[in-house]
């Protein structure tokens, strides 16, 4: 039966309505997977011999010391990116197939995603190197089994708590607290990690712990899915009591105010849009991640950081217009909806959030006023230029969005478009090149002014640019409608 399921998956791929785009995306994904496989295999060699020859430490102990970080990161990424294949398995529930078989197939399928098995390339390579360098066979195999199963257990944890946002927030706070305790050396977290994971090598019977945990969580996950495995219960979209909300003062701005009102309601009510608000807030801290790299000291990279810090909401929200309205987009197109006002409402909402981000980014002045004025110029460029190019790119995004489920599938076939990629040139590379070049020859003040002028020019000529954007939305209208109607 498992082979029959796989054969159906294979047929659905080649019988789909977008075979060419499917193949292109598969090729790009395959190239990406090969790249990460090479990085992980190479990383295993580098980690082992660098620790052994340069640090003169035990490679197995040092890797075990930092596995706690890798395990936590693996769990976080699986929670954010991996979802159960419910759309693929729903049709089987109406057929004469044992439900236990379908549930088992669902669980097994989660292990076939690259996010589940890619890390095994590091562990297998590292273990093989350890064996060739005199480590005990039984100990290394026990370490490999114990560590690998702990990472695979994250699949089950993700299944059990994927739809429990409160649990996720609590666990996230616990991870943050543990990270803080480790950073300030209050609790020797890394020492505990080294002792725990190295025990798999020193005491091979410790691998039984991982095996028992794996079996227990498999059964728990199986029962959890089996219990709710009904079209009218577990796989049905959750319904809540509707609430009528209205932001009255926006109504005086006509159609634009009405559209903004609707978008604010959408942002407050749905899982996907709540995730975008959270992601936009986290973008404010993007600059902090770059301080560990010497690249951030270059003017171009400082501008790059500024564009992301101030434009997080814009990039995450704007490029998905009109995908957010995919469920009722056909109805909108049969109504007398003013396209320009519809897009302007999105534009004003993005710019309001960008302005808020510029104000909140004032904290970066702690690292020097030069950095903040660069971020300020990036914010003006986002408002005047990038907001419009982001909306323009949204015309080519034909990916349906289910507002009631967390969005986890990156790189979907309908979101891949060469025109949208080309729009990255004026959005990202142009301000970086202009700021870097002008700053090099005339100083940072001139660089900031040059980028700000481009932003102001974009704002002043917004009506002309909007006419071009509306024209492209109308050109893409029917292909967008076809994509939103196609539930495959």
pLDDT band at 403 (very low <50, low <70, confident <90, very high): low
Token digits for 60? 């197995």
**Based on the domain organization, do 160 and 200 belong to the same domain?**
yes
**Based on the domain organization, do 375 and 452 belong to the same domain?**
yes
**Based on the domain organization, do 334 and 478 belong to the same domain?**
yes
Distance between CA atoms of 421 and 139, rounded to whole angstroms?
49
Distance between CA atoms of 172 and 72, rounded to whole angstroms?
10
Q: Which residue has the higher pLDDT, 35 or 412?
A: 35
pLDDT band at 417 (very low <50, low <70, confident <90, very high): very low
pTM: 0.59
Q: Smallest Cα–Cα separation from 465: which of 384, 364, 408, 359?
A: 384
Cβ atoms < 10 Å from Cβ of 220: 13
**Based on the domain organization, do 29 and 99 belong to the same domain?**
yes
pLDDT band at 339 (very low <50, low <70, confident <90, very high): confident
Q: Smallest Cα–Cα separation from 379: which of 462, 311, 478?
A: 311
pLDDT computed for residue 402 by the predictor = 67
**Based on the domain organization, do 293 and 214 belong to the same domain?**
no
For 35, what's the count of Cα atoms within 13 Å in the CB-facing half-sphere? 6
End of a domain among 171, 195, 227?
Answer: 227
Q: What is the pLDDT of residues 193-215, one digit of tens each?
A: 999 999 999 999 999 999 999 99
**Based on the domain organization, do 133 and 276 belong to the same domain?**
no
Does the structure show a pLDDT above 50 at 415?
no
**Based on the domain organization, do 177 and 305 belong to the same domain?**
no
Look at residue 232 and tell me if it is in a domain.
no
Q: 215, exposed or middle or buried, with CB in 10 Å at 0-12, 13-18, 19+? A: exposed
Look at residue 240 and tell me if it is in a domain.
no
pLDDT computed for residue 195 by the predictor = 93
Q: What is the pLDDT of residues 313-336, one digit of tens each?
A: 888 887 778 777 777 777 777 777
Look at residue 13 and tell me if it is in a domain.
no
Residue range 111-120: average pLDDT? 85
Look at residue 12 and tell me if it is in a domain.
no
**Which of 122-126, 283-287, 307-311, 373-377 shows the lowest mean pLDDT across its residues?**
283-287
**Which of 1-15, 28-42, 97-111, 294-308 shows the lowest mean pLDDT across its residues?**
1-15
**Based on the domain organization, do 146 and 291 belong to the same domain?**
no
Cβ atoms < 10 Å from Cβ of 208: 12
**Based on the domain organization, do 401 and 260 belong to the same domain?**
yes
**Based on the domain organization, do 84 and 214 belong to the same domain?**
yes
Token digits for 95? 């057929």
pLDDT computed for residue 401 by the predictor = 73
**Which of 117-121, 299-303, 308-312 shows the lowest mean pLDDT across its residues?**
299-303
Look at residue 242 and tell me if it is in a domain.
no
SS (H, E, C) 307-351: HHHHHHHHHHHHCCCCHHHCCCHHHHHHCCCCHHHHHHHHHHHHH
Look at residue 234 and tell me if it is in a domain.
no
pLDDT computed for residue 208 by the predictor = 94
Does the structure show a pLDDT above 90 at 71?
yes
**Based on the domain organization, do 384 and 470 belong to the same domain?**
yes
Does the structure show a pLDDT above 60 at 419?
no
Look at residue 138 and tell me if it is in a domain.
yes
Q: Which domain holds residue 114?
A: 2-7+20-227
Q: What is the pLDDT of residues 121-167, one digit of tens each?
A: 999 999 999 999 989 999 999 999 999 999 999 989 988 887 777 78
**Based on the domain organization, do 222 and 358 belong to the same domain?**
no
Number of domains the chain contains: 2
pLDDT band at 295 (very low <50, low <70, confident <90, very high): low
End of a domain among 227, 260, 294?
Answer: 227
Grouping H, G, I as helix, E, B as strand and the rest as coil, residue 292 is coil
Look at residue 153 and tell me if it is in a domain.
yes
Assess contact for 343 and 469: CB atoms under 8 A. Answer: yes
């Amino acid at each position: 039966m498992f082979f029959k399921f796989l054969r159906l998956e294979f047929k659905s791929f080649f019988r789909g309505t977008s075979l060419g785009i499917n193949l292109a995306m598969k090729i790009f994904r395959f190239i990406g997977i090969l790249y990460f496989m090479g990085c992980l295999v190479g990383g295993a060699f580098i980690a082992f011999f660098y620790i052994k020859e340069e640090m003169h430490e035990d490679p197995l102990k040092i890797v075990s010391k930092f596995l706690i970080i890798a395990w936590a990161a693996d769990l976080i990424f699986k929670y954010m990116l991996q979802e159960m294949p419910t759309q693929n398995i729903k049709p089987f529930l109406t057929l004469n197939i044992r439900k236990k078989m379908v549930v088992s197939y669902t669980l097994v399928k989660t292990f076939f995603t690259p996010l589940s098995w890619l890390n095994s390339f590091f562990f297998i390579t590292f273990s093989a190197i350890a064996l060739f360098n005199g480590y005990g066979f039984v100990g290394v195999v026990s370490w490999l089994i114990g560590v690998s199963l702990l990472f695979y257990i994250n699949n089950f944890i993700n299944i059990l708590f994927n739809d429990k946002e409160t649990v996720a927030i609590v666990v996230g706070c616990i991870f943050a607290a543990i990270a803080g305790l480790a950073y300030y050396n209050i609790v020797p977290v890394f020492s505990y990690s080294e002792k725990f994971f190295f025990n798999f090598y020193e005491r091979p019977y410790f691998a039984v712990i991982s095996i028992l945990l794996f079996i227990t969580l498999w059964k728990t996950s199986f029962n959890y899915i089996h219990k709710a495995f009904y079209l009218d219960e577990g796989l049905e979209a959750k319904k809540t009591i509707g609430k009528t909300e209205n932001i009255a003062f926006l109504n005086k701005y006509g159609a634009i105010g009405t559209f903004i009102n609707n978008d604010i309601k959408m942002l407050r009510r749905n899982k996907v849009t709540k995730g975008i608000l959270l992601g936009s807030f986290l973008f404010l801290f993007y600059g902090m991640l770059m301080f560990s790299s010497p690249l951030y000291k270059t003017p171009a990279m400082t501008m790059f950081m500024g564009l992301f810090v101030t434009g997080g909401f814009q990039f995450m929200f704007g490029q998905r217009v009109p995908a957010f309205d995919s469920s009722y987009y056909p109805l909108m197109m049969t109504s007398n909806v003013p396209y320009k006002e519809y897009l302007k409402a999105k534009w004003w909402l993005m710019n309001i959030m960008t302005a808020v981000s510029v104000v909140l980014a004032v904290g970066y002045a702690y690292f020097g006023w030069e950095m903040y004025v660069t971020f300020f110029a990036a914010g003006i460029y986002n408002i005047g230029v990038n907001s419009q190019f982001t909306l323009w790119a949204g015309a080519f995004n034909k990916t349906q969005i289910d507002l009631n489920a967390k969005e986890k599938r990156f790189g979907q076939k309908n979101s891949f478009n060469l025109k949208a990629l080309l729009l990255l040139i004026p959005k990202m590379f142009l301000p970086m090149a202009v700021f870097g070049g002008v700053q090099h020859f005339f100083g940072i003040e001139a660089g900031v002014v040059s980028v700000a002028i481009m932003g102001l020019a974009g704002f002043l000529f917004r009506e002309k640019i909007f006419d071009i954007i509306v024209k492209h939305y109308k050109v893409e209208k029917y292909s967008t409608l076809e994509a939103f109607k196609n539930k495959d």
